Amino acid sequence: MDHLDDKELETIALLLSGDRLHRFLALTGSTRAAIALHQQTLRLGGSLMSVTAVLEIALRNAVCDRLALYFQTENWLLKPPTVFAWRDEERGRIEMAIRAAQRAHYAKLDASQKRQLDEVAFRRGAPAGISHEHRSNARQKAIRVPAGQVIAQLTLYFWKRLFSPDYDHTLWKPALKRLFPGKEVTRAAVASNLESIYQTRNRIAHHEPVYGNRLDDALGAIDFIAAQLGTARSDGRTPLGKMLEKERSVLGDQAAALRGRIDALRSSGGTQTGLARSAALVNESA
């Protein structure tokens, strides 16, 4: 932050907000150093996001392929066999995803194409005086979106839920365990690591820092999923883990640098009170 003068630092501190910078100020003792540390955590967050994004995409596609094979239908999400039923929470998430896919499709239509939907939405003609909002909603609901577009709208929350105890007998044991072929890999272990990745991803999406215990847990979860999703080759690595090696190496270097910087700040904290506050702030990310 040496390229900013004191007046500029004051402006940046206001833009970032005192609430956001307080933990960094407690660690560093100066606004300049606090902003620098804040930026370092954001750079780390960017690297975390790029890796977790690949894991989410890989998991989603692997689950889709596996369940299509298990249920023997490509439409397993919207119309699963009668022997299987979604829990209320997942059913609600699917309905929300359908609506989101319909809105996304509708937004791409021109005015003429939107008017053509009235024939389906209002078979007896649109009611007199119908509002633009109600007309648009009815048109959107008339759109039949393919399962692939609905799947694209489902978040990591949905996919991690498929590894919860609720689906142990209906999905994990008969189908999803094959995605994690390691003999010692349990559903609970997969669920726990996916939860860590999910929580980390959400913090990054809201521009919250990830460090301390939370960072350690996230790195461990990333390594677990990358190493266990799919079949390892003769060199002991899965294709996914091998593909992510470069990104994971960069991420590891950034994490080590951040950890070293925080440790140095803690050790130079001076008083016992300062050290205690620094330790508490580091553990705040747990």
Residue 113 lies in a domain: yes
Task: Give the N- to C-terminal CA distance of the chain in Å, as an integer.
Answer: 28
Measured between alpha carbons, how far is 245 from 243 in angstroms, rounded to an integer? 6
Domain count, the chain: 1
- Is pTM, for the whole model, over 0.85? yes
Question: Residue 262: is it exposed, middle or buried by C-beta count within 10 angstroms (0-12/13-18/19+)?
Answer: buried
Q: Look at residue 86 and give its three-state secondary structure.
A: coil
Q: How many CB atoms lie within 10 A of CB 182?
A: 14
Residue 39 lies in a domain: no
Q: Please report the pLDDT score of residue 160 as a whole number.
A: 98
Residue 254 lies in a domain: no
**Which structural domain, as residue segments, surrounds residue 100?**
73-154
Residue 82 lies in a domain: yes
List CB contacts of 161: < 8 A, sequence separation 6 or more.
Answer: 89, 90, 93, 167
Residue 133 lies in a domain: yes
Query: Over its length of 286 residues, how does the chain's per-residue pLDDT go in tens digits?
Result: 678 888 999 999 999 999 999 989 998 999 999 999 999 999 999 999 999 999 999 999 999 999 999 999 999 999 999 999 999 999 999 999 999 999 999 999 999 999 999 999 998 888 888 999 999 999 999 999 999 999 999 999 999 999 999 999 999 999 999 999 999 999 999 999 999 999 999 999 999 999 999 999 999 999 999 999 999 999 999 999 999 999 999 999 999 999 999 999 888 764 444 445 555 455 555 4
Residue 201 lies in a domain: no
Measured between alpha carbons, how far is 258 from 264 in angstroms, rounded to an integer? 10
| Number of alpha carbons in the 13 Å side-chain half-sphere of residue 145 | 25
Measured between alpha carbons, how far is 52 from 249 in angstroms, rounded to an integer? 14
- Closest CA relative to residue 118, chosen from 139, 103, 104: 139
Residue 173 lies in a domain: no
Written as six digits, the tokens of 16 are 């970032």
Q: Please report the pLDDT score of residue 272 as a whole number.
A: 45
Residue 144 lies in a domain: yes
Q: Where are the alpha helices (DSSP H) in 72-168?
A: 88-107, 111-116, 118-121, 132-141, 147-153, 156-161
Measured between alpha carbons, how far is 25 from 37 in angstroms, rounded to an integer? 9
